Amino acid sequence: MPEAPRTTTVRTRKLAEATAHTTTLVGAAYRLYTTLGLQRARVRVFTLKADGIRPAEHVTQQLTFDPATSASA
């Protein structure tokens, strides 16, 4: 992540399991940003990169009774 004085910070995270839910991905991005502990830094760019993407038919899917995640599937 490039910061105001032209420095760059890089952090990586891997989700515990595959997901097709936007809320899961957004939550991971917010947690990653929060762990940087920036208070008054001027962030110019925040970039997310997805690796290891596979076709949905090749991914196992955990069944859930949560209506919020089931509705978006």
Helices (H), the chain: 22-35, 67-71
40-47-37-26 Cα dihedral, nearest 10 degrees: 110
Ordered per-residue pLDDT tens for the chain, 73 residues: 555 567 788 888 888 877 777 788 888 888 988 888 887 777 778 888 878 777 777 777 666 777 776 555 5
22-60-49-11 Cα dihedral, nearest 10 degrees: 100
Model-level pTM greater than 0.75? no
Q: How far apart are CA 17 and CA 55, in angstroms?
A: 14
Q: How far apart are CA 37 and CA 29, in angstroms?
A: 14
